[in-house]
Amino acid sequence: MSELDRLANQHILESESHLKHIDELMAKAREAQARQQLAADAASALPRLEQEHGQATQELRALGQLPRPATADTVARSEGVKGVLQKIGLELEKALTAIGDKSGL
């Protein structure tokens, strides 16, 4: 396996892990929104985060189907998806932590 293949695979595996975590956070954020516990700014950001999540999911699937050996472009794209997912996760964690802080959890 080439170094580019290794890097692309590593980014894809990390992104899949982030995606599972984000799915859980999204479910919690939707529940909090339904209970009207989500701050207004977080609630207004949720549709954008859901859209970014969907786009990153599609890109991750496309990356997984690319032929090997990987190219530098594949590595860059996989790293970009990983970064987007990390950003989404951080925003969701921040919104959900604020709920916990308000409720004393």
Write the DSSP assignment of 43-91 as a string of letters: HHHHHHHHHHHHHHHHHHHHHHTS-SS--HHHHHHHHHHHHHHHHHHHH
pLDDT of residue 18: 92
Top CATH class, 3-96: mainly alpha
pLDDT, greater one: 80 or 100: 80
pLDDT of residue 66: 87
The pLDDT tens digits for 14-71 are: 999 999 999 999 999 999 888 888 888 888 888 999 999 999 999 999 998 988 888 8
Domains of the chain, by residue range, sit at 3-96
